[in-house]
Structure 1
Amino acid sequence: MKDSAVPATDTPDSEGGNTYSVPPVHRAFTLLRHIASGGRCRNASATARDLSINRTTLIRLLHTLEAERMIESDDDGLSWQLGPGMIVLAADALKSRDVVRVARPVMARLTHELGLSSHLGVLDGREIIYLLRETPNSHLVSNVREGSRLPAHATTVGRVLLGYQLPDALERLYADVPLAKATEKTSTTLDTLRAQIATDRAQGFAWSAGNFERGIGSCAAPIFDHQGRTIAAVNVTGPEANFTLDTPQAARIEIAVKAAAAEISAALGYSGA
Protein backbone atom coordinates (compact mmCIF):
# COMPACT_ATOMS: atom_id res chain seq x y z
CA MET A 1 0.00 0.00 0.00
CA LYS A 2 1.42 3.37 -0.97
CA ASP A 3 1.71 6.34 1.35
CA SER A 4 -0.90 8.12 -0.76
CA ALA A 5 -3.42 6.17 1.31
CA VAL A 6 -2.42 8.11 4.43
CA PRO A 7 -5.39 10.08 5.84
CA ALA A 8 -5.65 13.82 5.40
CA THR A 9 -4.33 14.29 8.94
CA ASP A 10 -0.88 13.25 7.64
CA THR A 11 -0.26 16.59 5.96
CA PRO A 12 2.48 19.07 6.90
CA ASP A 13 0.05 21.75 7.99
CA SER A 14 -1.98 19.48 10.26
CA GLU A 15 1.07 17.76 11.78
CA GLY A 16 3.56 20.52 12.18
CA GLY A 17 1.97 23.77 11.09
CA ASN A 18 4.98 24.36 8.86
CA THR A 19 5.08 23.76 5.11
CA TYR A 20 8.77 22.85 5.40
CA SER A 21 8.18 20.07 7.90
CA VAL A 22 8.46 16.41 6.89
CA PRO A 23 5.30 14.34 7.58
CA PRO A 24 7.08 10.96 8.03
CA VAL A 25 9.27 12.51 10.72
CA HIS A 26 6.21 13.85 12.51
CA ARG A 27 4.65 10.38 12.37
CA ALA A 28 7.78 8.78 13.78
CA PHE A 29 7.87 11.19 16.72
CA THR A 30 4.14 10.77 17.31
CA LEU A 31 4.72 7.03 17.50
CA LEU A 32 7.76 7.39 19.78
CA ARG A 33 5.83 9.63 22.18
CA HIS A 34 2.99 7.11 22.19
CA ILE A 35 5.36 4.25 23.08
CA ALA A 36 7.20 6.38 25.66
CA SER A 37 3.90 7.09 27.41
CA GLY A 38 3.20 3.36 27.74
CA GLY A 39 1.43 2.56 24.49
CA ARG A 40 2.57 -0.92 23.48
CA CYS A 41 1.02 -0.94 19.96
CA ARG A 42 -0.35 -4.48 20.42
CA ASN A 43 -3.20 -3.78 18.01
CA ALA A 44 -1.74 -2.13 14.91
CA SER A 45 -5.13 -1.14 13.47
CA ALA A 46 -6.29 0.47 16.71
CA THR A 47 -2.96 2.26 17.22
CA ALA A 48 -2.97 3.52 13.63
CA ARG A 49 -6.49 4.87 14.12
CA ASP A 50 -5.64 6.50 17.46
CA LEU A 51 -2.53 8.18 16.04
CA SER A 52 -4.10 9.05 12.65
CA ILE A 53 -1.36 7.11 10.88
CA ASN A 54 -1.93 4.71 8.00
CA ARG A 55 -1.63 1.11 9.25
CA THR A 56 1.00 0.13 6.68
CA THR A 57 3.00 3.27 7.49
CA LEU A 58 2.75 2.43 11.19
CA ILE A 59 4.18 -1.06 10.65
CA ARG A 60 7.02 0.34 8.53
CA LEU A 61 7.81 2.92 11.20
CA LEU A 62 7.88 0.26 13.92
CA HIS A 63 10.37 -1.87 12.05
CA THR A 64 12.49 1.12 11.01
CA LEU A 65 12.68 2.36 14.61
CA GLU A 66 13.54 -1.16 15.73
CA ALA A 67 16.38 -1.32 13.18
CA GLU A 68 17.73 1.95 14.60
CA ARG A 69 17.40 0.51 18.15
CA MET A 70 15.02 3.31 19.13
CA ILE A 71 12.42 0.72 20.15
CA GLU A 72 12.50 -3.00 20.90
CA SER A 73 10.11 -5.91 21.27
CA ASP A 74 10.41 -8.77 23.72
CA ASP A 75 7.55 -10.79 22.18
CA ASP A 76 8.38 -11.02 18.47
CA GLY A 77 6.80 -7.76 17.46
CA LEU A 78 3.49 -8.13 19.31
CA SER A 79 4.26 -5.13 21.53
CA TRP A 80 6.94 -2.46 21.78
CA GLN A 81 8.89 -0.36 24.26
CA LEU A 82 11.69 2.20 24.05
CA GLY A 83 14.99 0.60 23.11
CA PRO A 84 18.63 1.06 24.13
CA GLY A 85 19.32 3.39 21.20
CA MET A 86 16.78 5.88 22.49
CA ILE A 87 18.13 5.58 26.02
CA VAL A 88 21.69 6.21 24.84
CA LEU A 89 20.52 9.14 22.72
CA ALA A 90 18.74 10.68 25.70
CA ALA A 91 21.77 10.11 27.93
CA ASP A 92 24.05 11.77 25.39
CA ALA A 93 21.69 14.73 25.15
CA LEU A 94 21.65 15.12 28.92
CA LYS A 95 25.42 14.82 29.02
CA SER A 96 25.83 17.54 26.41
CA ARG A 97 23.40 19.80 28.21
CA ASP A 98 25.23 19.18 31.46
CA VAL A 99 28.63 20.13 30.08
CA VAL A 100 27.17 23.31 28.55
CA ARG A 101 25.63 24.31 31.88
CA VAL A 102 28.85 23.65 33.76
CA ALA A 103 31.08 25.29 31.15
CA ARG A 104 29.17 28.53 30.67
CA PRO A 105 30.33 30.44 33.80
CA VAL A 106 33.88 29.08 33.49
CA MET A 107 34.10 30.24 29.89
CA ALA A 108 32.66 33.63 30.78
CA ARG A 109 35.50 34.13 33.28
CA LEU A 110 38.05 32.82 30.77
CA THR A 111 36.90 35.29 28.14
CA HIS A 112 36.93 38.14 30.65
CA GLU A 113 40.42 37.21 31.88
CA LEU A 114 42.04 36.95 28.44
CA GLY A 115 39.88 39.30 26.38
CA LEU A 116 39.49 36.51 23.79
CA SER A 117 36.50 34.59 22.43
CA SER A 118 36.02 31.13 23.94
CA HIS A 119 34.17 28.11 22.58
CA LEU A 120 32.97 24.69 23.69
CA GLY A 121 32.97 21.98 21.02
CA VAL A 122 32.29 18.27 20.61
CA LEU A 123 33.41 15.80 17.96
CA ASP A 124 30.94 14.50 15.38
CA GLY A 125 32.71 12.27 12.90
CA ARG A 126 35.24 14.37 10.99
CA GLU A 127 33.68 17.61 12.20
CA ILE A 128 33.34 19.51 15.42
CA ILE A 129 30.11 21.14 16.54
CA TYR A 130 30.27 24.27 18.67
CA LEU A 131 27.83 24.11 21.58
CA LEU A 132 28.68 27.37 23.31
CA ARG A 133 30.43 30.67 22.61
CA GLU A 134 31.49 33.52 24.90
CA THR A 135 32.78 36.78 23.42
CA PRO A 136 34.64 39.74 24.94
CA ASN A 137 33.39 43.28 24.90
CA SER A 138 35.33 44.06 21.76
CA HIS A 139 34.79 44.44 18.02
CA LEU A 140 37.36 41.67 17.48
CA VAL A 141 35.17 38.67 18.28
CA SER A 142 34.84 35.20 16.82
CA ASN A 143 32.39 34.68 13.99
CA VAL A 144 31.84 31.06 15.05
CA ARG A 145 28.31 30.54 16.39
CA GLU A 146 26.61 27.85 18.43
CA GLY A 147 25.81 25.04 16.05
CA SER A 148 28.66 25.87 13.66
CA ARG A 149 30.51 22.90 12.17
CA LEU A 150 34.19 23.00 11.24
CA PRO A 151 36.65 20.32 10.05
CA ALA A 152 38.19 18.58 13.05
CA HIS A 153 41.65 18.09 11.51
CA ALA A 154 42.11 21.83 10.95
CA THR A 155 40.95 23.19 14.32
CA THR A 156 42.38 23.07 17.82
CA VAL A 157 39.16 21.73 19.35
CA GLY A 158 39.07 18.99 16.72
CA ARG A 159 42.73 18.09 17.09
CA VAL A 160 42.40 17.77 20.86
CA LEU A 161 39.41 15.45 20.54
CA LEU A 162 40.95 13.41 17.73
CA GLY A 163 43.96 12.87 19.96
CA TYR A 164 41.85 10.72 22.28
CA GLN A 165 40.44 8.51 19.53
CA LEU A 166 41.75 4.97 19.22
CA PRO A 167 44.28 4.60 16.37
CA ASP A 168 41.97 2.36 14.34
CA ALA A 169 39.11 4.85 14.79
CA LEU A 170 41.30 7.59 13.34
CA GLU A 171 42.18 5.34 10.42
CA ARG A 172 38.50 4.65 9.75
CA LEU A 173 37.58 8.32 9.94
CA TYR A 174 40.14 9.44 7.38
CA ALA A 175 40.67 6.35 5.23
CA ASP A 176 40.67 7.52 1.60
CA VAL A 177 39.34 10.92 2.70
CA PRO A 178 41.31 14.02 1.61
CA LEU A 179 42.13 16.45 4.41
CA ALA A 180 41.12 19.86 3.15
CA LYS A 181 43.77 22.58 3.31
CA ALA A 182 42.55 25.64 5.20
CA THR A 183 45.95 27.40 5.27
CA GLU A 184 49.52 26.40 4.50
CA LYS A 185 49.84 25.28 8.16
CA THR A 186 46.95 22.78 8.06
CA SER A 187 47.77 19.08 8.24
CA THR A 188 46.70 17.58 4.91
CA THR A 189 47.86 13.97 5.33
CA LEU A 190 46.97 11.36 7.92
CA ASP A 191 50.64 10.97 8.87
CA THR A 192 51.11 14.67 9.63
CA LEU A 193 47.77 14.81 11.44
CA ARG A 194 48.69 11.79 13.53
CA ALA A 195 52.00 13.38 14.53
CA GLN A 196 50.33 16.68 15.32
CA ILE A 197 47.63 15.25 17.56
CA ALA A 198 50.20 13.05 19.32
CA THR A 199 52.08 16.24 20.23
CA ASP A 200 48.84 17.91 21.29
CA ARG A 201 47.94 15.03 23.60
CA ALA A 202 51.43 14.86 25.12
CA GLN A 203 51.38 18.55 26.06
CA GLY A 204 47.73 18.58 27.11
CA PHE A 205 46.58 21.25 24.68
CA ALA A 206 46.47 22.10 20.97
CA TRP A 207 47.97 25.31 19.64
CA SER A 208 47.33 27.15 16.39
CA ALA A 209 48.81 30.27 14.90
CA GLY A 210 47.04 30.52 11.57
CA ASN A 211 46.46 26.77 11.10
CA PHE A 212 42.79 27.22 10.23
CA GLU A 213 42.46 30.90 9.39
CA ARG A 214 45.24 33.30 8.55
CA GLY A 215 45.71 35.94 11.20
CA ILE A 216 43.81 33.96 13.85
CA GLY A 217 45.33 32.00 16.71
CA SER A 218 43.75 29.43 19.00
CA CYS A 219 44.46 27.20 22.00
CA ALA A 220 42.27 24.26 23.11
CA ALA A 221 42.29 21.77 25.99
CA PRO A 222 40.23 18.60 26.57
CA ILE A 223 37.32 18.16 28.97
CA PHE A 224 36.81 14.80 30.72
CA ASP A 225 33.72 13.35 32.35
CA HIS A 226 33.46 11.32 35.57
CA GLN A 227 34.53 8.17 33.72
CA GLY A 228 37.64 9.78 32.31
CA ARG A 229 36.23 10.01 28.78
CA THR A 230 37.05 13.02 26.63
CA ILE A 231 33.62 14.46 25.86
CA ALA A 232 34.39 18.01 24.72
CA ALA A 233 37.08 20.66 24.45
CA VAL A 234 37.28 24.33 25.28
CA ASN A 235 39.33 26.87 23.35
CA VAL A 236 40.05 30.56 22.98
CA THR A 237 40.64 32.37 19.71
CA GLY A 238 41.90 35.80 18.79
CA PRO A 239 44.45 37.75 16.77
CA GLU A 240 47.41 35.59 15.80
CA ALA A 241 49.82 38.08 17.37
CA ASN A 242 48.54 37.01 20.81
CA PHE A 243 49.54 33.42 20.07
CA THR A 244 53.24 33.89 19.35
CA LEU A 245 54.99 30.98 21.04
CA ASP A 246 57.49 31.52 23.87
CA THR A 247 55.97 34.85 24.89
CA PRO A 248 54.39 35.81 28.24
CA GLN A 249 51.00 36.23 26.53
CA ALA A 250 51.15 32.75 25.01
CA ALA A 251 52.08 31.23 28.36
CA ARG A 252 49.20 33.07 30.01
CA ILE A 253 46.75 31.73 27.40
CA GLU A 254 47.98 28.16 27.79
CA ILE A 255 47.71 28.23 31.59
CA ALA A 256 44.25 29.83 31.55
CA VAL A 257 42.77 27.44 28.96
CA LYS A 258 44.13 24.33 30.68
CA ALA A 259 42.85 25.60 34.03
CA ALA A 260 39.38 26.25 32.56
CA ALA A 261 39.23 22.76 31.05
CA ALA A 262 40.37 21.23 34.34
CA GLU A 263 37.72 23.18 36.28
CA ILE A 264 34.93 22.03 33.95
CA SER A 265 36.19 18.44 34.10
CA ALA A 266 36.29 18.49 37.90
CA ALA A 267 32.73 19.83 38.01
CA LEU A 268 31.67 16.86 35.84
CA GLY A 269 33.22 14.46 38.35
CA TYR A 270 36.61 13.85 36.75
CA SER A 271 39.15 12.83 39.38
CA GLY A 272 42.24 13.59 37.30
CA ALA A 273 43.33 9.96 37.16
Structure 2
Amino acid sequence: MAETLVNSKTETAAHLNQYAGDPNFMTSLARGLCVLEAFAQESPQMTISQLSSKTGLSRAAVRRCLYTLSRLGYAGAEDGQRYALRPKMLTLSHTYTVSNTLSSAAQPILERMSDQLKESFSVATLDGDEIVYIARSQVSRLMSVDLHVGSRLPAYCTSMGRVLIASQPPDEVERYLSRVELKPFTSKTVSSVDKLRSMLRNVRRNGYAMCDQEFEIGLRSIAVPVYAPSGKVIATVNLSGNAQRMPLLDMQTQFLPHLRAAANELSVFLR
Protein backbone atom coordinates (compact mmCIF):
# COMPACT_ATOMS: atom_id res chain seq x y z
CA MET A 1 0.00 0.00 0.00
CA ALA A 2 2.80 2.42 0.84
CA GLU A 3 4.39 1.92 -2.58
CA THR A 4 1.38 3.29 -4.42
CA LEU A 5 0.92 6.17 -2.05
CA VAL A 6 4.20 7.81 -2.94
CA ASN A 7 2.85 8.39 -6.43
CA SER A 8 -0.75 9.18 -5.47
CA LYS A 9 -0.60 12.73 -6.81
CA THR A 10 -1.29 11.72 -10.44
CA GLU A 11 -3.71 14.25 -11.93
CA THR A 12 -6.62 13.00 -14.04
CA ALA A 13 -8.77 14.36 -16.84
CA ALA A 14 -11.62 14.87 -14.36
CA HIS A 15 -9.39 17.11 -12.27
CA LEU A 16 -8.64 19.26 -15.30
CA ASN A 17 -12.33 20.01 -15.80
CA GLN A 18 -12.16 22.65 -13.06
CA TYR A 19 -10.10 24.81 -15.42
CA ALA A 20 -12.62 24.65 -18.27
CA GLY A 21 -13.32 28.11 -19.64
CA ASP A 22 -10.04 29.61 -18.43
CA PRO A 23 -8.53 31.18 -21.58
CA ASN A 24 -5.04 31.19 -20.08
CA PHE A 25 -5.03 27.52 -19.12
CA MET A 26 -3.03 25.36 -21.58
CA THR A 27 -4.98 22.11 -21.65
CA SER A 28 -2.54 20.31 -23.93
CA LEU A 29 0.35 20.96 -21.52
CA ALA A 30 -1.77 19.83 -18.58
CA ARG A 31 -2.62 16.58 -20.38
CA GLY A 32 1.05 15.93 -21.05
CA LEU A 33 1.82 16.38 -17.35
CA CYS A 34 -1.02 13.96 -16.50
CA VAL A 35 0.64 11.34 -18.66
CA LEU A 36 4.06 11.94 -17.09
CA GLU A 37 2.67 11.69 -13.55
CA ALA A 38 0.91 8.42 -14.36
CA PHE A 39 4.23 6.56 -14.51
CA ALA A 40 5.10 5.16 -11.09
CA GLN A 41 7.31 2.62 -9.36
CA GLU A 42 4.59 -0.02 -9.57
CA SER A 43 3.84 0.81 -13.21
CA PRO A 44 7.06 1.98 -14.92
CA GLN A 45 5.92 0.77 -18.34
CA MET A 46 2.42 1.21 -19.75
CA THR A 47 0.55 0.96 -23.00
CA ILE A 48 -1.59 3.73 -24.45
CA SER A 49 -4.70 1.90 -23.24
CA GLN A 50 -3.33 1.60 -19.69
CA LEU A 51 -2.36 5.27 -19.59
CA SER A 52 -5.77 6.23 -20.92
CA SER A 53 -7.46 4.21 -18.19
CA LYS A 54 -5.23 5.62 -15.44
CA THR A 55 -5.49 9.28 -16.46
CA GLY A 56 -9.02 9.38 -17.83
CA LEU A 57 -7.71 10.92 -21.06
CA SER A 58 -8.81 9.59 -24.44
CA ARG A 59 -6.51 7.19 -26.24
CA ALA A 60 -6.04 9.79 -28.96
CA ALA A 61 -4.98 12.43 -26.44
CA VAL A 62 -2.56 10.01 -24.73
CA ARG A 63 -1.11 9.02 -28.10
CA ARG A 64 -0.42 12.68 -29.00
CA CYS A 65 1.16 13.33 -25.60
CA LEU A 66 3.41 10.30 -25.92
CA TYR A 67 4.37 11.23 -29.46
CA THR A 68 5.45 14.70 -28.30
CA LEU A 69 7.25 13.41 -25.21
CA SER A 70 9.04 10.78 -27.29
CA ARG A 71 10.17 13.31 -29.89
CA LEU A 72 11.55 15.50 -27.09
CA GLY A 73 13.33 12.56 -25.44
CA TYR A 74 11.30 12.36 -22.23
CA ALA A 75 9.57 9.04 -23.02
CA GLY A 76 9.80 6.17 -25.46
CA ALA A 77 8.73 2.61 -26.25
CA GLU A 78 11.35 0.01 -27.10
CA ASP A 79 8.74 -2.46 -28.37
CA GLY A 80 6.47 0.17 -29.88
CA GLN A 81 3.70 -0.55 -27.36
CA ARG A 82 4.82 -0.20 -23.75
CA TYR A 83 6.03 3.31 -22.96
CA ALA A 84 8.47 4.31 -20.24
CA LEU A 85 10.14 7.51 -19.11
CA ARG A 86 13.64 8.27 -20.36
CA PRO A 87 16.69 9.54 -18.43
CA LYS A 88 16.12 13.04 -19.80
CA MET A 89 13.33 13.33 -17.20
CA LEU A 90 16.08 13.63 -14.57
CA THR A 91 17.00 17.04 -15.96
CA LEU A 92 13.65 18.41 -14.77
CA SER A 93 14.07 17.27 -11.18
CA HIS A 94 17.71 18.34 -11.19
CA THR A 95 16.70 21.82 -12.36
CA TYR A 96 14.34 22.15 -9.40
CA THR A 97 16.93 20.87 -6.94
CA VAL A 98 19.69 23.23 -8.03
CA SER A 99 17.38 26.23 -8.42
CA ASN A 100 15.65 25.80 -5.06
CA THR A 101 17.72 27.46 -2.34
CA LEU A 102 16.32 25.35 0.47
CA SER A 103 16.78 22.05 -1.36
CA SER A 104 20.35 22.77 -2.43
CA ALA A 105 21.28 24.05 1.04
CA ALA A 106 19.64 21.14 2.84
CA GLN A 107 21.38 18.24 1.12
CA PRO A 108 24.92 18.79 2.47
CA ILE A 109 23.54 19.48 5.95
CA LEU A 110 21.60 16.21 5.94
CA GLU A 111 24.58 14.27 4.64
CA ARG A 112 26.80 15.73 7.35
CA MET A 113 24.28 14.73 10.01
CA SER A 114 24.04 11.20 8.62
CA ASP A 115 27.82 10.88 8.69
CA GLN A 116 27.95 12.03 12.31
CA LEU A 117 24.88 10.31 13.73
CA LYS A 118 24.53 7.30 11.40
CA GLU A 119 20.80 7.93 10.87
CA SER A 120 18.54 8.95 7.98
CA PHE A 121 17.38 12.56 7.67
CA SER A 122 14.98 14.37 5.34
CA VAL A 123 13.60 17.78 4.47
CA ALA A 124 10.09 18.16 3.10
CA THR A 125 7.54 20.81 2.20
CA LEU A 126 3.75 20.73 2.03
CA ASP A 127 1.91 20.31 -1.27
CA GLY A 128 -1.83 20.12 -0.77
CA ASP A 129 -2.49 17.43 1.83
CA GLU A 130 0.80 15.61 1.21
CA ILE A 131 4.43 16.19 2.06
CA VAL A 132 7.02 16.20 -0.71
CA TYR A 133 10.65 15.30 -0.04
CA ILE A 134 13.04 17.95 -1.36
CA ALA A 135 16.25 16.58 0.23
CA ARG A 136 17.19 13.28 1.85
CA SER A 137 20.19 11.38 3.21
CA GLN A 138 19.77 7.69 3.94
CA VAL A 139 22.14 5.39 5.79
CA SER A 140 19.95 2.28 5.56
CA ARG A 141 16.65 1.16 4.10
CA LEU A 142 14.10 1.67 6.88
CA MET A 143 10.83 1.47 4.99
CA SER A 144 9.33 -0.88 2.44
CA VAL A 145 8.81 2.13 0.20
CA ASP A 146 11.91 3.61 -1.44
CA LEU A 147 11.87 7.28 -0.48
CA HIS A 148 13.74 9.83 -2.56
CA VAL A 149 13.55 13.48 -3.59
CA GLY A 150 10.07 13.95 -5.05
CA SER A 151 8.44 11.18 -3.00
CA ARG A 152 5.08 12.04 -1.46
CA LEU A 153 3.48 10.83 1.77
CA PRO A 154 0.28 11.75 3.61
CA ALA A 155 0.56 14.59 6.08
CA TYR A 156 -1.70 13.23 8.81
CA CYS A 157 0.37 10.16 9.80
CA THR A 158 3.91 11.49 9.30
CA SER A 159 5.92 13.64 11.69
CA MET A 160 6.89 16.09 8.94
CA GLY A 161 3.30 16.38 7.78
CA ARG A 162 2.06 17.16 11.28
CA VAL A 163 4.65 19.90 11.71
CA LEU A 164 3.59 21.49 8.42
CA ILE A 165 -0.15 21.18 9.05
CA ALA A 166 0.12 22.41 12.64
CA SER A 167 1.94 25.54 11.46
CA GLN A 168 -1.01 26.64 9.30
CA PRO A 169 -3.48 29.30 10.52
CA PRO A 170 -6.26 27.81 12.68
CA ASP A 171 -8.92 28.16 9.97
CA GLU A 172 -6.68 26.33 7.47
CA VAL A 173 -6.10 23.55 10.00
CA GLU A 174 -9.85 23.16 10.47
CA ARG A 175 -10.45 23.03 6.73
CA TYR A 176 -7.82 20.32 6.49
CA LEU A 177 -9.41 18.34 9.31
CA SER A 178 -12.82 18.60 7.64
CA ARG A 179 -11.59 16.93 4.45
CA VAL A 180 -8.84 14.54 5.54
CA GLU A 181 -9.46 10.83 5.10
CA LEU A 182 -7.69 8.92 7.87
CA LYS A 183 -6.68 5.75 6.09
CA PRO A 184 -5.33 3.15 8.57
CA PHE A 185 -1.89 2.18 7.29
CA THR A 186 -1.14 0.34 10.55
CA SER A 187 -2.97 -0.45 13.77
CA LYS A 188 -1.26 2.62 15.28
CA THR A 189 -2.43 5.14 12.65
CA VAL A 190 -4.45 8.01 14.12
CA SER A 191 -8.10 7.07 13.62
CA SER A 192 -10.15 10.09 14.65
CA VAL A 193 -10.20 13.75 13.65
CA ASP A 194 -10.53 14.83 17.28
CA LYS A 195 -7.38 12.92 18.21
CA LEU A 196 -5.51 14.36 15.23
CA ARG A 197 -6.62 17.86 16.20
CA SER A 198 -5.24 17.29 19.70
CA MET A 199 -1.96 16.00 18.26
CA LEU A 200 -1.61 19.07 16.06
CA ARG A 201 -2.16 21.34 19.05
CA ASN A 202 0.62 19.53 20.91
CA VAL A 203 2.93 19.91 17.92
CA ARG A 204 2.27 23.63 17.79
CA ARG A 205 2.88 23.96 21.52
CA ASN A 206 5.99 21.75 21.70
CA GLY A 207 7.64 22.84 18.46
CA TYR A 208 8.16 19.32 17.15
CA ALA A 209 6.20 16.22 16.13
CA MET A 210 6.74 12.50 16.63
CA CYS A 211 5.14 9.56 14.85
CA ASP A 212 5.36 6.06 16.24
CA GLN A 213 4.77 3.40 13.58
CA GLU A 214 1.68 5.11 12.16
CA PHE A 215 2.70 4.86 8.50
CA GLU A 216 4.70 1.66 8.71
CA ILE A 217 5.28 -0.78 11.58
CA GLY A 218 8.86 -0.55 12.84
CA LEU A 219 9.35 3.08 11.80
CA ARG A 220 9.55 6.02 14.18
CA SER A 221 10.25 9.62 13.26
CA ILE A 222 10.64 13.06 14.77
CA ALA A 223 10.46 16.39 12.93
CA VAL A 224 10.94 20.11 13.58
CA PRO A 225 9.93 23.21 11.59
CA VAL A 226 12.15 25.33 9.35
CA TYR A 227 11.23 29.01 9.57
CA ALA A 228 11.44 31.72 6.93
CA PRO A 229 12.54 35.22 8.03
CA SER A 230 8.85 36.20 8.19
CA GLY A 231 8.30 33.55 10.87
CA LYS A 232 6.32 31.31 8.55
CA VAL A 233 7.10 27.59 8.55
CA ILE A 234 8.11 26.66 5.02
CA ALA A 235 9.65 23.21 5.52
CA THR A 236 10.52 20.58 8.08
CA VAL A 237 13.53 18.44 8.98
CA ASN A 238 13.11 14.94 10.32
CA LEU A 239 14.91 11.87 11.56
CA SER A 240 13.59 8.38 10.75
CA GLY A 241 14.67 5.46 12.91
CA ASN A 242 14.02 1.82 13.64
CA ALA A 243 11.53 1.45 16.49
CA GLN A 244 13.31 -1.56 18.02
CA ARG A 245 16.60 0.23 18.56
CA MET A 246 15.40 3.80 19.03
CA PRO A 247 13.22 4.50 22.10
CA LEU A 248 10.98 7.55 21.89
CA LEU A 249 12.81 9.19 24.79
CA ASP A 250 16.14 8.84 22.97
CA MET A 251 14.70 10.57 19.92
CA GLN A 252 13.72 13.51 22.08
CA THR A 253 16.86 13.76 24.21
CA GLN A 254 19.59 12.72 21.76
CA PHE A 255 18.35 13.82 18.35
CA LEU A 256 15.92 16.69 18.83
CA PRO A 257 18.74 19.20 19.53
CA HIS A 258 20.52 18.16 16.31
CA LEU A 259 17.31 18.57 14.30
CA ARG A 260 16.70 22.03 15.72
CA ALA A 261 20.28 23.06 14.97
CA ALA A 262 19.88 21.88 11.37
CA ALA A 263 16.58 23.76 11.03
CA ASN A 264 18.22 26.95 12.33
CA GLU A 265 21.10 26.48 9.91
CA LEU A 266 18.67 26.11 7.01
CA SER A 267 16.78 29.23 8.07
CA VAL A 268 19.97 31.23 7.63
CA PHE A 269 20.00 30.43 3.89
CA LEU A 270 16.55 32.01 3.54
CA ARG A 271 17.55 35.42 4.85
Give the TM-score band, short-chain normalised.
0.5 to 0.7
Q: Cα 1:241–1:201, aligned 2, differ >3 Å: closer, same or farther?
A: farther
Q: Which stretches in structure 1 are left out of the alignment for 5+ residues?
A: 1-10, 22-92
Q: Deviation digits for residues 26-82 of structure 1, max 9, x if unmatched?
A: xxxxxxxxxxxxxxxxxxxxxxxxxxxxxxxxxxxxxxxxxxxxxxxxxxxxxxxxx
Q: Equivalent residue for 1:256?
A: 258
Match of 2:174 in 1: 171
In the alignment, is residue 229 of structure 1 matched against residue 194 of structure 2? no
Count of residue correspondences: 186
Deviation at 1:15, TM superposition (A): 8.1
Equivalent residues in 2 for 1:150-229, closer than 5 Å? 150-229=153-232
- The AA in structure 2 aligned to 1:246 is L
1:144 and 2:198 correspond: no
Is residue 125–residue 134 contact of structure 2 (8 Å, CA) maintained in 1?
A: yes
Counterpart-to-counterpart distance in 2, 1:155 and 1:266: 26
Structure having greater relative contact order (Cα 8 Å, sep ≥ 6): 2
Identity of aligned residues (%): 33
* Aligned counterparts, 1:1-273, within 5 A: 13=67, 17-18=71-72, 97-136=100-139, 138=140, 143-247=146-250, 250-269=252-271
Give unmatched runs, 5+ long, in structure 2: 1-63, 76-95
So what's the TM-score if we normalise by structure 1? Answer: 0.61
- Return closer, same or farther for 1:17/1:264 CA change in 2, 3 Å cut-off: same
1: CA distance between counterparts of 2:245 and 2:270?
Answer: 30
Distance across 2 between alignment mates of 1:204 and 1:164: 9
Whose radius of gyration is greater, 1 or 2? 1
User: Whole-Å Cα distance in 2 between the matches of residues 130 and 16 of structure 1?
Assistant: 28
Root-mean-square deviation (CA, aligned residues, Å) is 2.7
Shift, 1:113, TM fit: 2.1
Q: 1:149 to 1:191 in 2, by over 3 A?
A: same
Give 3-state SS (helix, strand or coil) of 2:249's partner.
Answer: coil
CA–CA distance in 2 between the matches of 1:231 and 1:197?
A: 17
Moved over 3 A (4+): 11-16, 18-21, 93-96, 138-142
Q: TM-score if structure 2 supplies the norm length?
A: 0.61
Per-residue deviation at 1:123?
A: 0.6
243 and 160 in structure 1: CA distance in 2 versus 1, 3 angstrom threshold: farther
Contact 1:242–1:250 (8 Å) recurs in 2:
no
